Amino acid sequence: MAAGRKGSRTVQAAGSPVVLGPAALAALQAWTIAEARHVRHFILGDENTLRHCLPELQGHVPALREAHIMAVAPGERSKSVDVCHALWSHLAAEAADRQAVLIALGGGVVTDLAGFVAATYKRGIPVVNVPTSLLGMVDAAIGGKNGIDLDGIKNVVGTIRQPVGTYVHVPFLRTLGKRELMNGVAEMLKHGLVNDAKHWKAVCAAALHDLKALEPLVLRSAEIKAAIVDEDPQDADKRRLLNFGHTIGHAIEARSWESPQRGLLHGEAVAVGMVCEAWLSWRSELLAREALDEITVVVRERYRPHHLDPVDHHRILQLMANDKKNADDRFRFTLLEAIGRGRINVEVTAAQVSAALDHYRLLMRDGPKEAV
Ligand code: GLY
């Protein structure tokens, strides 16, 4: 880790600097002046981030006051080929050349979309990430995964390409509601579970409404994510640790959006996935019963139960089979050996996944005693 400008520090994620701390936006101003003064800047945000965060960004980074602004609708639907088309056309109409810099100001949807548009426009222009959501700060904006959705499958088209920098300014979180914050907290809990037992305890004990208390934990989570990416940028090995809770979680998220009610946020689905996958870790004799119970209690106290129907199992398994993380028709999970230690590439059968879903359903219906 390198000390950056006063009040910021920088960690590397596969050669891409992640600047953390109160002076992160001052560091972006310095970078813009030093490296990108004479190029055109395009800021991509959604209607919320452009209203609530753009004035603060431009206040701290005067070099971006003349930037060209591009807006998309908030929400996952913007991660589409049609929206990419509109953005590519817009850049071309503005005669953006290969030196132009695209600045993504938003949560995971905006950074995923901007990363993909920047990777493909004129065979690649630089992208800078300025995450505004907790999920973005600790996960989506770091590590270079970008992409859009196709035919209901998330992130099925995309690349891994590092941003030229990621600037994490925690005060943007002031604009978020509790549900949005909890969306990111799920990833912070995951970072503790797979990599750092002390961080798990700290996140469990944190007063989440207190941004001052939350800030060092956000920065620690961003640091854990960056360090894992740094070891394995292409997601061939260690980065798979970050998949804990996601193999089942992604499918539950996708399934929830197929129903007429509003679906689950990513972190809410990952919370369900973490309970199921912690249970699989215990059933596979990797994880102690006490650790499973601790994880279950923490998640149950923080996240509303999600209603799972037994008739959904088949569809959830089908969605898992489509997921890019699985190969050879077998499910490869990241499970836990202990709180603070994940294990990648554990093979799990469809029947075991179904049993884990049953476990979650009964746990939410009857409580922990009947769940075993
Ligand atoms: N969100 C998981 C990863 O970046 O690998």
pLDDT in tens, 37-57: 889 999 999 999 999 999 999
pLDDT of res. 372: 40
Predicted TM-score (pTM) of this structure: 0.94
CB of 232 closer than 6 A to ligand 1? no
pLDDT tens-digit series, residues 165-180: 999 999 999 989 999 9
CATH of the domain at 329: 1.20.1090.10
What are 160's strand-pairing partners?
145
Mutate which of 234, 242, 250, 323 for ligand 1 pocket (most atoms within 8 A of beta carbon): 242
Please check whether residues 49 and 130 belong to one and the same domain.
yes
Please check whether residues 175 and 54 belong to one and the same domain.
yes
Note whether 197 and 298 are within 8 A (CB). no
Mutate which of 139, 142, 232, 334 for ligand 1 pocket (most atoms within 8 A of beta carbon): 139
Please check whether residues 26 and 145 belong to one and the same domain.
yes
CB of 242 closer than 6 A to ligand 1? yes
Please check whether residues 13 and 138 belong to one and the same domain.
yes
Euclidean distance between CA atoms 118 and 217, whole angstroms: 30
Domain boundary among 180, 206, 232: 180
CB of 215 closer than 6 A to ligand 1? no
* Model confidence band, residue 371 (pLDDT cutoffs 50, 70, 90): very low
CB of 266 closer than 6 A to ligand 1? no
Mutate which of 134, 183, 225, 244 for ligand 1 pocket (most atoms within 8 A of beta carbon): 225
CB of 76 closer than 6 A to ligand 1? no
Burial class (CB in 10 A: 0-12, 13-18, 19+), 272: buried
Please check whether residues 149 and 25 belong to one and the same domain.
yes
- Is residue 254 a part of any domain in this protein? yes
How many angstroms does the Cα of residue 247 sit away from the middle of ligand 1?
12
- Is residue 216 a part of any domain in this protein? no
Note whether 170 and 137 are within 8 A (CB). yes
How many angstroms does the Cα of residue 139 sit away from the middle of ligand 1?
7
CB of 339 closer than 6 A to ligand 1? no
For residue 299, what are the domain limits? Answer: 244-366
How many angstroms does the Cα of residue 180 sit away from the middle of ligand 1?
19
Please check whether residues 133 and 19 belong to one and the same domain.
yes
Q: Which atom of ligand 1 is nearest to the CA of 240?
A: 5
* Model confidence band, residue 151 (pLDDT cutoffs 50, 70, 90): confident
Please check whether residues 37 and 117 belong to one and the same domain.
yes
Domain boundary among 137, 152, 180: 180
Mutate which of 159, 187, 243 for ligand 1 pocket (most atoms within 8 A of beta carbon): 243
Please check whether residues 127 and 261 belong to one and the same domain.
no
Please check whether residues 167 and 18 belong to one and the same domain.
yes
Note whether 281 and 293 are within 8 A (CB). no
Domain count, the chain: 2
- Is residue 205 a part of any domain in this protein? no
How many angstroms does the Cα of residue 50 sit away from the middle of ligand 1?
26
- Is residue 104 a part of any domain in this protein? yes
Euclidean distance between CA atoms 305 and 271, whole angstroms: 10
Q: Which residues of 227-244 are buried (b: 16+ CB within 10 A; e: fewer)?
A: bbbbebbebeebbbbbbb
Q: Which atom of ligand 1 is nearest to the CA of 228?
A: 5
User: Sign (positive/negative) of CA torsion 335, 339, 340, 341?
Assistant: negative
Q: Which residues of 78-88 are buried (b: 16+ CB within 10 A; e: fewer)?
A: bbbeebbeebe
Please count the other Cβ atoms lying within 10 Å of the Cβ belonging to residue 344: 18
Please check whether residues 153 and 270 belong to one and the same domain.
no
- Is residue 63 a part of any domain in this protein? yes
pLDDT at 224 over 90: yes
- Is residue 290 a part of any domain in this protein? yes
pLDDT at 6 over 80: no
Domain boundary among 160, 180, 200: 180
pLDDT tens-digit series, residues 271-314: 999 999 999 999 999 999 999 999 999 999 999 999 998 999 99
- Is residue 341 a part of any domain in this protein? yes
CATH of the domain at 100: 3.40.50.1970
- DSSP label at 343? E
Please check whether residues 21 and 155 belong to one and the same domain.
yes
Please check whether residues 39 and 153 belong to one and the same domain.
yes
- Is residue 211 a part of any domain in this protein? no
What are 104's strand-pairing partners?
44, 129
Instruction: Look at residues 166, 172, 316 and name the one whose alpha carbon lies nearest to residue 248.
Output: 316
